[in-house]
Amino acid sequence: MTANTQTSELSYLTGFGNEHETEALAGALPIGRFSPQRVNHGLYAEQFSSTAFTAPRAANRRTWLYRIRPSVVQGDYEPCTGTGQRIQTGPLAGPTPPNMLRWDPLPLPAAGVDLLDGMTTIATCGDALAQTGIGIHLYAASESMGQRYFYSADGEWLFIPQQGELLLRTECGRLHLQPGDIAVVPRGMKFAVDLPAGPVRGYICENYGASLTLPERGPVGANGFANDRDFQYPVAAYEDIEGDFELLCKFGGHLYRAAIGHSPLDVVAWTGNSAPYKYTLSRFNVMGSVSYDHPDPSIYTVLTSPSDTAGVANLDFVIFPPRWMVAEDTFRPPWYHRNIMSEYMGLIEGVYDAKEEGFVPGGSSLHNCMSPHGPEAAVFEKASSVELVPDRYQNTLAFMLESRYLFQPTPWALDTELRQRDYIRCWDGIGKQFKS
């Protein structure tokens, strides 16, 4: 086995979507071609494509993997039982209520629960078979996956840790995550998740649609939002181990398993632009108003998955991090609104400014297409009367997953004891103030 095992020892390649190259063994990368007649060190060449071969050059994503065994060396898949029973995929059957919804966090599990067994789908939208929409999963785990491996053919996975550390072991190398970091694993990329520091909890967005990319900056110019240089990709680190292992696959909304006699993370070298990456959210260059009016949340977009309609996202990943509020004569929290886009929110740390009670770290809320939402009654009163001086929001980090498609909560999400069935009561104190 050749790989870093200590998270402190990990190094990274930088630059979003760059044509990276890395080898864990000198001479493993071919020079001047991708698939020579014989690859050095007795390796096999394998192309991993996240887009169609003929996608425009600027959007084309593929990576060449140089591995100990090609991916075809495995057993047949069979339906998987006893694992991931609460993992679901869009579209879901049944009606979707237009109610505003909110949930408490998942409790941390007892010993012996890895990421796959500790996942629960809370909502989906779109259709994975049509490669549109997303699935939103919660996870709470207490054990590493070890020699159990997984990939999703239904979409790329966006990891959003809320508690604890994750070590993602992937075909391309290793990524270390903690709260405040995110990571994206491409559709079809095999990985396992270790827990280097005990139990964990967080969120996963499974993006069925076009691969996440950086949003356009428009009039902001060249240096705002998330900067390309701050995205980190793993260096090659391979596992050359044999044994009685299990490869799990999410395909067409169903889970399958296959026996595999070796680690599938046996890539000795790779070159390309389709690979897992991580980003530290504190590096996001926040934009805001310095005059008046609370701006649209689109100015906080870190990553976006475009749809076939320009300006209308399959998915926007948006954050609300520590930031200054300085606008004059302005209602500073988000205004009351109804939106054609559907909004799912999670909280990583602290307090979200529009919801000071009930929305806690690890919790969730869902405000679907055209469902009204906005500041709770107490927040409205405070924001309407507070002296407006420059104010820095500290020790807070919330995020939003926004989509053009209607979110369908799962039966578990609607029935669970974690659902706050009195959520709508937070607006009860809003009274009539009209004076003719």
Rounded to whole angstroms, the Cα distance separating 11 from 312 reads 36
Query: Tokens for 84?
Result: 């991931």
Catalytic site includes residue 294: yes
Rounded to whole angstroms, the Cα distance separating 288 from 322 reads 12
Radius of gyration over alpha carbons of the chain, in Å? Answer: 22
3-state secondary structure of 412: helix
C-beta of residue 205 within 8 angstroms of C-beta of residue 315: yes
Q: Degrees (nearest 5) of the Cα angle 216, 222, 226?
A: 65
Side chain identity, residue 208:
Y
With residues binned 3-state (H G I as helix, E B as strand, rest as coil), the percentages for the chain, rounded to 5, are 10, 40, 50
Rounded to whole angstroms, the Cα distance separating 209 from 188 reads 13
Q: Is the dihedral of CA 254, 123, 314, 283 positive or negative?
A: negative
Q: Within a 10 A sphere around the Cβ of 126, how many other Cβ atoms?
A: 26
Catalytic one among 137, 176, 294, 373? 294
Query: What separation, in Å, do the N-terminal and C-terminal C-alpha atoms of the chain show?
Result: 78
From the list 356, 332, 352, the residue with the least C-alpha distance to 343 is 352
Rounded to whole angstroms, the Cα distance separating 316 from 366 reads 15
The residues annotated as belonging to the active site are 294
